[in-house]
Structure 1
Amino acid sequence: MGTTHRITKDFHRLARTIKSFSDGQARIVMEGESGAHDSNEEENKFRFEVDITPSGGPYQGGTFRFEISVENEAQWSQEPPIIRCLTDIYHPNIDHLDQDLVTSNVCVSVLDHGTWSGQCDFETCVQALLFLFYEPNFDDALSPICCSDENFQELVQISLKGGTIDGFGFRPNEGWVKKKNVNNVVKKITVINENEK
């Protein structure tokens, strides 16, 4: 059973436009579909992964991976997909500690069943994720460890470095670590070049 025409069309449109509409902050890193076929099951799950690397704001330089999956492609796009953050993150609207794999661990209004419409598509999902990095909503917190804006930017930096917040240890963010290492190398080269003058 192959993917439906609508889901294929929406995915290919996303692949063509993701770099431009996200200003280079989002990219597809994995795509695919896995059949869930047995004698009682007719549905097919379509999923792909997206990396978001914010170019500004408190998460600047970090890279965060999300899985977007459609449980029943025949229902696309009448129901929102399941979106799961796969990267440790200190964010009020993302609960990366949630291990329930059949629900989203991202809270943004456009992805709610009551708000989502058949006009929404995968671009809507990526735009919503980008929005969360620049406009975290503390009034609708999902995360049990990030529910206040007190010291928020400082705590985000601690999480990106791989620190501990409220007893939870974060893994260092790979994108942030790579960016910092590149910046440190550039600074060292600049200092060496300045000393040679």
Structure 2
Amino acid sequence: MGTTHRITKDFHRLARTIESFSDGQAKVILGDDDEKDRTETFFRFEVDIMPNGGPYQGGSFRFEFCVEKECQWPREPPIIRCLTDIYHPNIDHLDRDDCSNVCVSVLDRDVWSADQCDFETCVQALLFLFYQPNFDDALSPVCCSDEHFQELVQISLKGGTIDGFQFRPNKGRINNILEEIT
């Protein structure tokens, strides 16, 4: 099976099954540029994660998945970047644009297994981070302690300032408030 066919097949499987395996907490986002992105040497798409429990409940977080060289899929993990401001120990929103800003073991090249990992594995790992943040392997310099964690997550979702960083109000939280009002 050709690499381009494999990555397209894996993406379409994810798009078909993401809402069921994530219990409605994740969905693939298709934009105007997606078809263009898939015809180049890289493959890119976005996923929204909307936790239905835990400290991030009510928030909506967008992640970009990028496979820079289709010929490497699935031998190498995708680059995954959180595009939404987030207060999380394992997601560094201040990180560079050319590498993952998410710290979860399955994305490590030494752990990634082409036989056992795919886009679904990545989404499940992201969901896991929302329910089980790992303070022992913190990536974010802003969020590196579990002291007052849940309170600080709520401040960040509302658009507050933490350690000198001003978070933008989370769109999922704003939409939930608007639904309650109407």
SS at match of 1:14: helix
State how far apart, in whole Å, the 2-side matches of 1:149 and 1:82 are. 27
State how far apart, in whole Å, the 2-side matches of 1:23 and 1:35 are. 31
Partners of 1:62 and 1:176 within 8 A in 2: yes
State how far apart, in whole Å, the 2-side matches of 1:9 and 1:35 are. 14
SS at match of 1:178: helix
**Are positions 1:108 and 2:98 aligned together?**
no
Partners of 2:19 and 2:26 within 8 A in 1: yes
What is the 5 A alignment of 1:89-104? 89-98=86-95, 100-104=96-100
Match in the other structure for 2:29: 29
Where structure 1 has 5 or more consecutive residues not aligned to the other structure, the ranges are 37-43, 187-197
* Deviation readout 1:25-73 (Å, 9 max, x if unpaired): 000112442555xxxxxxx000000000000000001000000000000
CA RMSD, aligned part only? Answer: 1.4
Runs (4 or more) in structure 1 with deviation over 6 Å come to: none
TM-score (norm 1): 0.86
**Are positions 1:118 and 2:114 aligned together?**
yes
SS at match of 1:4: helix
Partners of 1:3 and 1:46 within 8 A in 2: no
Which residue of 160, 165, 168 maps to 2:165? 168
Cα distance, 1:3 vs. partner? Answer: 6.7
State how far apart, in whole Å, the 2-side matches of 1:72 and 1:173 are. 32
Greater CA radius of gyration, 1 or 2? 1
Letter in 1 for 2:48: D
Cα distance, 1:124 vs. partner? Answer: 0.6
TM-score (norm 2): 0.93
**Are positions 1:9 and 2:9 aligned together?**
yes
State how far apart, in whole Å, the 2-side matches of 1:122 and 1:129 are. 11
Partners of 2:3 and 2:73 within 8 A in 1: no
Where structure 2 has 5 or more consecutive residues not aligned to the other structure, the ranges are none
Partners of 2:42 and 2:70 within 8 A in 1: yes
**Are positions 1:64 and 2:58 aligned together?**
no
Identity of aligned residues (%): 74
Which residue of 56, 78, 82 maps to 1:81? 78
Match in the other structure for 2:44: 47
State how far apart, in whole Å, the 2-side matches of 1:15 and 1:168 are. 34
